[in-house]
């Protein structure tokens, strides 16, 4: 059984957000919910200033607080390391969301894709209402809904439950990479089986000094970061007094 | 004749439930039977795209079909995932050697564009005769027949009055099918007024390369082989050009090369650069002059490309003139004149005063850049050049590539590879007397007037002055415009000082807008025609270069068009031509019928065939093995269509040395080419070059005009009244100002460094904010001498104190429910163009965006 | 007392309207979703959960008080035992209403039984309170049928006492076990919840005894009654003192620590305002009533007691709300990209309706129980 993990090479990352938009696309994630997200920081004072970007997603922790706290085991671990959510068992207590140190779990406060349920057209007769358009193209939820997003977080989520990144379990099942990995134009995301010493992720983790988010909490995250967003060089100096 | 390849059995069995796919058998018949099945042919053309068989994982039920993204002018080859007849995903077309599988974030937004509820689905006409910013046009749906009949009647009326020149065509985003609607139709009707958007894009960027190395186009940069990159006001990780390609290799480049970004705002690229040079806006020419000065005084020029002093001793000493005879040049022309006229006093200390950059930094960058030798790039973007007097900044920044010998060299700056597409048949024979007379009239945009030299590629008076057309229309100068058709443009949003356009458009008695969305421009239209979306619904092709290759990439309908949308550049002109023919003027239709299917030699029978034949005709050299000239080879149209892209041969380095398209064939530091062009223009107006320069607003006189040199920025606004300089920049999510109606645009707007999701912010340095008493989130009004806009204040260290930086793309007051706050009335955020004055770089005709104006900020 | 006779139907009418409005609101919340709350993905739990915590803890407090006669055999309080148990049941029912309306998919509750997670404090909390409710009901039934002292009845009393001790600890650990939210003070939160249970339970009982006593029995303030009230007032005073000391200590630690989470926490915008580091609800809902109770003349007066108990009771709800919100006021991790640095909160009308509904259920049960269930019944000596 593999143990899946992701390595994010910050030097390759260009901070474009394609991962996050592609994730919305692949997983039919509605507005306001970010399975794939980022932490940005502008460091320094003009003119010595840089902007940094750390892509984030569910860390699929080895010791996942969300799983430990879930009263019904709706949030659970798979043998391959994925932290999964079973919407059938979810009572909507939101404790996982409260418990997650990484802010990657979101709650469906209402029926998803509100935008697409509107029946208003901006120019009646000549433009469509969102609802009309969805129906016309024969879709559900959104016109571009990905009906291949099957399994636990199927096409459209009911209200009253939580959701989060699943490492694209539905794609893994088809031997495809998670879509954020596929969609990253910079090849900054490397996915694979960390239990296999020959996998690309294992090779990279041995080559660099990876870090993980909030490691001190002991949650054993399985998203690893290598290198730096801005590896700028400078002329050697000893500083001065 | 090549037949449509049948679906693989496995794919077909999966799709049995889908009625569209049971028509496969029919498709074959249809393709073979030709014109006899004209009725059904429209359907078949749409569906041929579905019929391609691509290898895919067993559980994928849709298919990936190639097309092209025109979200920016990178023009990447893409693949669209079509599932149950719906476009569901977009990715890079791995067959392209320019962009490969990489896809920048904006490509995904296209899905929300094509499936935008606010797209115009049927033709509509205005029922409110009054036109204005605050007049609701009260659009009502009409039939295509009514729309086309009205348009044809208007055009016929003009021709009958002998005033066909009062017809005008305005072009926005185009493919190379443009010649049909933009050129041929305008000329055959009889008007000189085909006005493109090019001058609001970045024409001045092409000026420097042309008058130094004879190349009028955007460059490609050999980044994987370079050691040092200076980027001038370009942001390749966010906007234009080859964003996908540069994103895919940047992680490797930053480990290998030193990257320096010159821009007053910390751009996405500056965030991943070794040095950020937050230059005082408009002073790029000063920095470039100083770098050139250092390169020469320190002896860091390329001996191989430029040559050397005959005595071997470097005589370039600050402040001292050099005898031209002492230097022997190889592949360049006029290095010593250049030094004497424009460089000898341009010391780093001189530049530090103007640029606001420390002397040490200027010297360090210049020295290290020079030490990198010819494997170095001076990358000229829109920042320094889309300015008043930007033409010379374009020259001085670009000419560094000549000094280092990086021009046309490994690890340097490259031009386009050769490609072999062909033009449409000539239409001169279809222009009748009325047309010939009309099309010789002066153009509405004033190009070629004494104060508008507009010298595109060495030919004065040939460059469009897009933004000036508004004044031409408003003042009926040289005459009034009666009938105008415009497509995929939005000049009263995308051009500076857009209020002039509002007034101009309101003045045109009959305006037709072909557009996907009811935009600000449509608000003044009498008829709005629903356009197809280029990536999903259109036939066409475009070409672009990057990674040492050039590709020609196809766009094809991968889904059924939304509603009754039709293709702007081919289908709609065909339909208009039919209506004109019905009214006794059949020249246009007869011309269109000369564009035949290269495979069958058949004339197009309807607009759908016409659209397809236009593409096949112009790309025949790429896919027809009997016409093969180079690059990727195909067995025929169908194979090319399924690949979606043709790649050129790899780049041939150094083939252009001393073979350049300049007067001297050399890289001209003293531009004989520019001299000839300016003298030609002066002669035309019976005056001197100095006079031309004066009336066009340049500072150079005499010989200085022919060498790259520093000119002071010309910025509007009294510093006392308007204390801040306005810095405009582009978003990595902008699809040319058309994506603000996508919720994903708003949700992810903060991928632009310093910006915020669901907001439109002006980035202000905390030092300035403290002076102005502003805090994060304050609602503010930015006021310039020519306009104002409202947005939100954002305190950010990544902006130069004394400037305010704001991203272009929002401030739509129409376009859709998301883009506007109240559709047709109140904008969401503010449009930068509202505060930027309509001023020009008159040598290139470019509309100025940068260092154009000073502003003040008021708290609301 | 004619006043009482008029007041009673008015009171019933008010309760009826509140119940009806609450039920309608509850249905609407389940149709529309929790978007009706002023909660979001940063402020995940808001007023309805605070109401639950408050009522559940008060119920535990009442159960703990009932243990005085039922477990520890303090004869003097035997006449209060049945009422205390009933009040605990009614209060807990109110609490369950609040949490029922807080859960996104209350109909999936079956999985609490089918798919229990023994490492989840929420599961334990739910399980223990469910068990407690069951035990209390059976115990009440026993007492109602006159069985105060049988072995089983005594066992039920002990069981309810143990459950009432553990339940607040579990509520505390829901917060305390959350590694990423240091401002909830880890295990200390459990102790705090236990103290708060005794405090609010005692305050509630005193209030009820004084208000209910006046409404129904009129001049029931006999000597025995007064003695009991004195004792319970003393318990209230001591508990308030301990909670106040605890709160001061907590506030001092919060002010002194350099742990980043606390630095953000300091910037929390108090729902009810604050003086220095102390929220208004702490000053007026804890310190002030404690001071009042310490003053002998105030403590001796019925009005003084009532005021103090009322302040403590309302203050407890306010403090639970504040503590709940303060720990969530800043976005975690990447949520800071989309949400402001500090999220502000005011309950929505719908959230207030949850409060109204929960209190209405509790008060209706009190009222009816008082009327029909002979709550003052004591074992025959």
Write out pLDDT tens, residues A14-25: 999 999 999 999
- Please say if the pLDDT value at position B405 is more than 60: yes
- Rounded CA gap, B726 and B413, in Å? 30
Mean pLDDT of C118-131: 95
Write the pLDDT tens digit of every residue in B737-784. Answer: 999 999 999 999 999 999 999 999 999 999 999 999 999 999 999 999
Q: What is the pLDDT of residue B337?
A: 97
Coil, strand or helix at C88: helix
What is the Cα–Cα distance from B344 to B601, expressed in whole angstroms? 64
Alpha-carbon gap, residue C158 to A21, rounded angstroms: 58
In a domain, A236, yes or no: no
Contacts of C338 in chain B (CB under 8 A): 750, 757
Pairing of strands B86-92, B510-515: unpaired
Q: Is C129 left (phi over 0), alpha (psi -120 to 50) or beta?
A: alpha
Residue A240 belongs to some domain of the structure? no
Q: Which option is the CATH number for B119-200+420-530+566-594: 3.90.420.10, 3.30.1280.10, 3.40.50.740, 1.10.3720.10?
A: 3.40.50.740
Distance in angstroms (rounded) separating the CA atoms of residues B508 and C352 = 59
Select from A11, A126, A188 the Cβ nearest to the Cβ of B141.
A126
In this model, does residue C186 exceed pLDDT 90?
no
Q: Tell me the pairing of strands B139-141 and B124-126.
A: antiparallel
DSSP A199-221: SHHHHHHHHS--B-TTGGG----
Q: Count other C-beta atoms under 10 Å from residue C29's C-beta.
A: 22
Q: Does B759 touch chain C (CB under 8 A)?
A: no
Q: Is residue A78 a contact partner of residue A56, using CB atoms and an 8 Å limit?
A: no
Q: What is the pLDDT of residues B56-97, one digit of tens each?
A: 455 678 999 999 999 999 999 999 999 999 999 999 999 999
Would the pLDDT of C171 be above 60? yes
- Provide the shortest C-alpha distance from residue B475 to chain C (in Å): 48
Å from C90 to nearest chain B CA? Answer: 46
C101: pLDDT strictly greater than 80: yes
Chain A adjacent subunits, 3+ CB pairs under 8 A: B, C
Q: b/e for B30-55, b at 16 or more Cβ within 10 A?
A: bbeeeeebeeebebbbbbbbbbbeee
The predicted pLDDT at position C194 comes to 96
For C20-67, the DSSP string reads HHHHHHHHHHHHH-GGGSS--SSS-S-HHHHHHHHHHHHHHHHHHHHH
Using a cut of 0.90, tell me whether the model's pTM lies above it: yes
Dist CA C372 CA B67 (whole Å)? 78
Domains identified in chain C and CATH numbers: 7-372 (1.20.1630.10)
Query: What percent of chain B lies above the pLDDT cut of 70?
Result: 93
Does this complex have an ipTM over 0.95?
yes
- List pLDDT tens digits, range B420-429: 999 999 999 9
Q: What pLDDT does C271 receive? A: 81
Q: Which residue in C337, C340, C342, C343 has the most chain B C-beta atoms within 10 A of its own C-beta, making it the best mutation to test that interface?
A: C337
Q: Is the pLDDT of residue B455 over 90?
A: no
pLDDT at B48: 44
Kindly give the interhelix angle for B359-371 and B348-355, rounded to the nearest 10 degrees: 120
Tell me if the domain spanning B724-859 has CATH number 2.120.10.30: no
Residue B504: pLDDT over 60: yes
* Strand partners of residue A37: A56
Contact B621, B422 (CB under 8 A): yes
Percentage of chain B modeled with pLDDT above 90: 88
What mean pLDDT, rounded, does chain B reach? 92
Confidence of residue B2 (pLDDT cuts 50, 70, 90): very low
B155-189: b (≥16 Cβ within 10 Å) or e: bbebbeeebbbbbbbbbbbbbbbbbbbbbbbbbbb
Among A122-126, B494-498, B606-610, C109-113, where is mean pLDDT lowest? C109-113
Q: Tell me which chain C residue has its CA closest to the CA of residue B748.
A: C338
**Equal CATH topology for B119-200+420-530+566-594 and B724-859:** no
Whether A100 sits inside 8 A of C180 (CB atoms) is yes
What is the distance between the alpha carbons of residues B67 and B484, in angstroms, rounded to a whole number?
Answer: 30
Residue B756 region by backbone torsions, left for phi larger than 0, else alpha for psi between -120 and 50, else beta: beta
Q: What is the pLDDT of residue C223?
A: 66
Alpha carbon distance, N-terminus to C-terminus of chain B: 68
d(CA C251, CA C223): 41
Contact criterion met (CB below 8 Å) for B115 and A116: no
Q: How many CA atoms lie within 13 A of B594 on its CB side?
A: 15
A159 contacts in chain C (CB < 8 Å): 33-34, 104
Its sign, for the CA torsion B304, B307, B312, B313, is negative
Phi/psi of residue C167, nearest 5 degrees: -55, -50
| Domain extent at residue A77 | 4-226
Write out pLDDT tens, residues B355-395.
999 999 999 999 999 999 999 999 999 999 999 999 999 99
- Residue B784: what are its φ and ψ, rounded to 5°? -120, 175
**pLDDT surpassing 70 at residue C4:** no
Q: What is the nearest CA distance from A30 to chain C, expressed in angstroms?
A: 14
Decide if pLDDT at C143 tops 50. Answer: yes
**B410 alpha-carbon distance from chain centroid:** 26
Beta pairing, strands B139-141 & B510-515: unpaired
- When pLDDT is cut at 50, 70 and 90, the band that residue B463 belongs to is confident
CATH code for the domain of A86: 3.30.70.20
**How much is the CA Rg of chain B, to the nearest whole Å?**
27
User: How many domains does chain A fold into?
Assistant: 1
Residue B279 pLDDT greater than 60, yes or no: yes
How far is the CA of B346 from the CAs of B313, B318, B327, C35, in angstroms?
21, 8, 20, 64
Identify whether the C-beta of residue B95 lies closer than 8 Å to the C-beta of residue B759.
no
The string of pLDDT tens digits covering residues B17-67 is 433 333 333 333 333 333 333 333 444 444 444 444 444 455 678 999 999
Q: Does C117 touch chain B (CB under 8 A)?
A: no
Q: How far is A238 from chain B (nearest CA, A)?
A: 18
Fold for the domain defined by B218-414+659-670: Dimethylsulfoxide Reductase; domain 2 (3.40.228)
Instruction: Give domain status of residue A237, yes or no.
Output: no
Residue A231 lies in a domain: no
Nearest CB among A24, A49, A120 relative to B266 is that of A49
* pLDDT of residue A10 exceeding 50: yes
What pLDDT sits at residue B21? Answer: 36
Residue C145 has pLDDT above 80, yes or no: yes
Give the HSE-up count for residue C362: Cα atoms under 13 Å, Cβ half-sphere: 27
Cβ contacts of A122 on chain B, cutoff 8 Å: 117-118, 518, 816-817, 823-824
Residue A44 lies in a domain: yes
A69 with C178: Cβ contact below 8 A = yes
Q: Specify the pLDDT at position C268.
A: 76
Residue A53 contacts B, CB cutoff 8 Å: yes
| Chain C nearest C-alpha distance from A194 (Å) | 25
C222 touches chain B (CB under 8 A): no
Find all residues with CB under 8 Å of B538, minimum gap 6, and list them: B175, B532, B555, B556, B557, B567, B568, B611
Domain ranges of chain B: 119-200+420-530+566-594, 218-414+659-670, 724-859
- At C3 the pLDDT is 56
CA distance C203 to C305: 9
A130-142: pLDDT as tens digits: 999 999 999 999 9
- Would you call B128 an interface residue with chain A, using a CB distance cutoff of 8 Å? no
- Tell me the C-alpha distance between B12 and B569, whole Å: 34
Burial B396-428 (b: 16+ CB within 10 A, else e): bbbbbbbbbbbbbbebbbbbbbebbbeebeebe
- Beta-carbon contacts of C288 under 8 Å, excluding residues fewer than 6 positions away, are C311
Mutation site for A-interface testing, chosen from C26, C36, C41 by largest number of A Cβ within 10 Å: C41
- At residue B15, the pLDDT reads 36
The Cα–Cα gap between B38 and B36 comes to 6
Strand partners for B119: B517
CA distances from B526 to B27, B161, B507, B512, C266 (A): 39, 21, 12, 6, 60
User: Considering Cα of C200, then C206, then C210, then C212, what sign does the dihedral take?
Assistant: positive
**Given C41, C122, C174, which is nearest A97 (Cβ)?**
C41
Q: Average pLDDT of chain C?
A: 90
Burial class (CB in 10 A: 0-12, 13-18, 19+), B737: buried
Report the gap between the CA of A240 and the closest CA in chain C (Å).
31
Residue C222 is predicted with a pLDDT of: 64
| Predicted local distance difference test score (pLDDT) of residue B250 | 96
User: What residues of A are in contact with residue B522 (Cβ under 8 Å)?
Assistant: none
């Amino acid at each position: 059984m593999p143990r899946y993990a992701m390595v994010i090479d910050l030097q390759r990352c260009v901070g474009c957000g394609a991962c996050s938009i592609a994730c919305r696309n692949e997983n039919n994630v509605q507005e306001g919910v970010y399975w794939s997200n980022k932490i940005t920081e502008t460091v320094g004072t003009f003119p010595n200033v840089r902007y940094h970007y750390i892509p984030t997603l569910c860390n699929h922790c080895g010791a996942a607080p969300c799983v430990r706290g879930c009263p019904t085991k709706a949030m659970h671990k798979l043998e391959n390391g994925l932290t999964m959510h079973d919407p059938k068992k979810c009572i909507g207590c939101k404790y996982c969301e409260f418990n997650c140190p990484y802010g990657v779990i979101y709650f469906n406060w209402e029926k998803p894709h509100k935008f697409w349920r509107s029946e208003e057209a901006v120019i009646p007769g000549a433009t469509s209402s969102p609802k009309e358009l969805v129906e016309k193209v024969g879709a559900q939820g959104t016109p571009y809904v990905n009906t291949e997003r099957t399994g636990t977080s199927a096409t459209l989520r009911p209200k009253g439950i939580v959701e989060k990144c699943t490492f694209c379990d539905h794609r893994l099942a088809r031997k495809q990479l998670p879509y954020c990995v596929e969609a990253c134009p910079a090849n900054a995301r490397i996915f694979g089986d960390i239990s296999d010493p020959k996998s690309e992720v294992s090779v990279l983790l041995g080559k660099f000094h990876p870090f993980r988010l909030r490691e001190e909490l002991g949650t054993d995250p399985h998203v690893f970061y290598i290198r730096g967003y801005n590896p700028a060089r400078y002329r050697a100096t000893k500083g001065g007094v | 004749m090549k037949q449509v390849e049948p679906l693989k059995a496995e794919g077909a069995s999966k799709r049995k439930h889908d009625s569209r796919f049971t028509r496969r058998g029919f498709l074959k018949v249809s393709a073979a039977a030709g014109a006899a099945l004209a009725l059904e042919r429209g359907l078949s053309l749409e569906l041929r795209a579905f019929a391609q068989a691509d290898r895919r994982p067993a559980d994928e039920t849709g298919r990936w079909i190639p097309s092209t993204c025109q979200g920016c002018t990178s023009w990447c080859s893409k693949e669209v995932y079509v599932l149950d007849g719906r476009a569901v995903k977009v990715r890079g077309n791995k067959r392209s050697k320019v962009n490969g599988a990489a896809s920048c974030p904006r490509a995904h937004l296209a899905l929300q564009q094509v499936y935008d509820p606010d797209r115009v689905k049927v033709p509509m006409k205005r029922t409110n005769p009054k036109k204005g910013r605050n007049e609701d046009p009260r659009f009502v749906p009409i039939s295509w027949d009514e729309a086309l009949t009205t348009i044809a009647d208007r055009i016929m009326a003009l021709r009958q009055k002998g005033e066909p020149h009062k017809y005008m065509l305005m072009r926005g985003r185009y493919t190379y099918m443009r010649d049909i609607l933009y050129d041929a139709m305008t000329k055959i009707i009889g008007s000189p007024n085909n006005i493109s958007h090019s001058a609001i894009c970045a024409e001045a960027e092409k000026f420097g390369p042309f008058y130094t190395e004879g190349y009028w186009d955007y460059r490609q940069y050999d980044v994987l082989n370079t050691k040092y990159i200076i980027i001038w006001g370009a942001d390749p990780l966010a906007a234009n050009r080859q964003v996908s390609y540069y994103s895919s290799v940047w992680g490797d480049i930053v480990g290998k090369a030193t990257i320096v970004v010159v821009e007053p705002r910390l751009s996405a690229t500056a965030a991943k650069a070794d040095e950020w040079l937050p230059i005082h806006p408009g002073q790029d020419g000063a920095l470039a002059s100083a770098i050139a000065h250092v390169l020469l005084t320190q002896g860091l020029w390329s001996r191989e490309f430029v040559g050397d002093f005959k005595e071997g001793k470097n005589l370039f000493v600050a402040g001292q003139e050099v005898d031209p005879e002492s230097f022997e040049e190889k592949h360049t022309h006029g290095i010593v004149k250049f030094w004497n006229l424009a460089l000898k006093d341009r010391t780093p200390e001189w530049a530090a005063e103007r640029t606001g950059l420390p002397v040490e930094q200027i010297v360090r960058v210049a020295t290290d850049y020079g030490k990198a030798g010819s494997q170095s790039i001076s990358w000229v973007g829109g920042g320094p050049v889309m300015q008043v007097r930007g033409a010379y900044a374009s020259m001085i920044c670009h000419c560094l590539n000549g000094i280092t010998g990086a021009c046309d060299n490994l690890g340097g700056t490259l031009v386009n590879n050769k490609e072999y597409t062909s033009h449409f048949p000539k239409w001169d024979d279809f222009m009748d007397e009325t047309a010939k007379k009309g099309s010789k009239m002066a153009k509405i945009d004033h190009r070629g007037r004494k104060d508008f030299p507009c010298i595109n590629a060495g030919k004065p008076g040939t460059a469009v002055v897009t933004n000036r057309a508004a004044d031409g229309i408003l003042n009926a100068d040289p005459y009034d415009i009666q009938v105008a058709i415009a497509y995929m443009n939005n000049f009263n949003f995308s051009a500076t000082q857009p209020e002039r356009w509002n007034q101009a458009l309101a003045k045109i008695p009959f305006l037709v807008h072909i557009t996907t969305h009811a935009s600000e421009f449509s608000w003044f239209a009498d008829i709005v025609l629903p356009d197809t979306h280029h990536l999903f619904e259109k036939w066409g092709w475009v070409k672009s270069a990057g990674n040492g290759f050039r590709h020609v990439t196809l766009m094809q309908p991968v889904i059924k068009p939304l509603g009754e949308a039709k293709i702007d550049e081919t289908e709609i002109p065909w339909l208009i031509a039919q209506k004109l023919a019905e009214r006794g003027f059949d020249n246009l239709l007869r011309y269109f019928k000369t564009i035949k299917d290269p495979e069958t030699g058949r004339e197009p029978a309807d607009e759908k065939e016409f659209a397809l034949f236009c593409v096949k005709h112009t790309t025949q050299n790429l896919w027809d093995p009997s016409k093969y000239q180079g690059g990727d080879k195909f067995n025929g149209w169908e194979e090319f269509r399924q690949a979606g892209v043709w790649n050129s041969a790899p780049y041939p380095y150094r083939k252009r040395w001393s073979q350049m398209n300049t007067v001297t064939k050399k890289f001209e530091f003293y531009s004989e080419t520019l001299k000839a062009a300016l003298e030609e223009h002066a002669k035309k107006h019976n005056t001197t070059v100095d006079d031309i320069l004066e009336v066009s607003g340049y500072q150079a006189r005499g010989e200085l005009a022919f060498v790259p040199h520093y000119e002071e920025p010309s910025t509007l606004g009294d510093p006392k009244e308007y204390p801040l300089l306005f810095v405009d920049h582009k978003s990595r999510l902008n699809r040319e100002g058309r994506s603000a109606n996508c919720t994903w645009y708003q949700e992810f707007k903060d991928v632009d460094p310093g910006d915020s999701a669901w907001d439109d912010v002006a980035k202000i340095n905390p030092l300035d904010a403290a002076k102005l008493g502003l805090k994060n989130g304050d609602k503010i009004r930015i006021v310039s001498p020519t306009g104002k806009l409202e947005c939100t204040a954002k305190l950010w260290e990544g902006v130069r104190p004394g400037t305010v930086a704001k991203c272009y793309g929002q401030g739509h007051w129409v376009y859709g429910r998301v883009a506007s706050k109240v559709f047709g009335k109140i904008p969401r955020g503010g449009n930068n163009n509202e505060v930027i004055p309509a001023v020009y770089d008159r040598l290139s005709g470019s509309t100025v965006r940068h260092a154009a104006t000073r502003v003040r900020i008021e708290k609301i | 007392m004619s006043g009482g006779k008029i007041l009673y139907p008015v009171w019933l009418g008010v309760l009826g309207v509140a119940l009806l409005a609450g039920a309608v609101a509850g249905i609407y919340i389940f149709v529309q979703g929790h978007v009706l709350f002023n909660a979001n993905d940063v402020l995940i739990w808001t007023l309805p959960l605070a109401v639950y915590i408050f009522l559940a803890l008060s119920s535990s407090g009442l159960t703990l008080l009932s243990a005085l006669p039922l477990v520890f055999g303090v004869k003097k309080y035997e006449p209060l035992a049945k009422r205390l148990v009933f009040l605990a049941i009614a209060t807990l029912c109110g609490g369950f209403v609040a949490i029922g309306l807080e859960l996104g998919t209350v109909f999936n509750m079956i999985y609490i039984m089918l798919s229990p997670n023994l490492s989840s404090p929420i599961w334990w909390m739910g399980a223990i309170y469910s068990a407690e409710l069951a035990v209390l009901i059976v115990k009440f039934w026993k007492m109602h049928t006159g069985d105060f002292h049988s072995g089983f009845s005594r066992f039920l009393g002990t069981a309810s006492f143990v459950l009432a001790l553990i339940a607040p600890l579990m509520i505390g650990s829901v917060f305390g076990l959350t590694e990423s939210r240091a401002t909830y003070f880890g295990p200390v939160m459990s102790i705090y919840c236990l103290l708060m249970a005794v405090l609010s339970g005692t305050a509630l009982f005193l209030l009820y005894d004084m208000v209910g006593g006046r409404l129904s029995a009129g001049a029931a303030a006999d000597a025995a009654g007064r003695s009991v009230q004195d004792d319970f007032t003393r318990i209230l005073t001591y508990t308030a003192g301990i909670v106040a000391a605890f709160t001061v200590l907590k506030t001092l630690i919060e002010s002194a620590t350099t742990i980043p989470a606390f630095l953000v926490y300091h910037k929390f915008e108090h729902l009810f305002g604050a003086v220095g580091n102390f929220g208004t609800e702490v000053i007026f809902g804890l310190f002030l009533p404690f001071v009042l109770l310490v003053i002998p003349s105030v403590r001796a007066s019925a009005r003084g007691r009532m005021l103090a108990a009322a302040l403590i009771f309302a203050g407890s709800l306010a403090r639970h709300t504040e503590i709940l919100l303060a720990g969530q006021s800043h976005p975690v991790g990447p949520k800071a990209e989309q949400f402001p640095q500090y999220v502000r909160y005011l309950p929505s009308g719908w959230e207030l309706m949850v409060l109204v509904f929960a209190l209405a259920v509790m008060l209706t049960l009190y009222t009816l129980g008082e009327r029909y269930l002979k709550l003052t019944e004591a074992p025959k000596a």
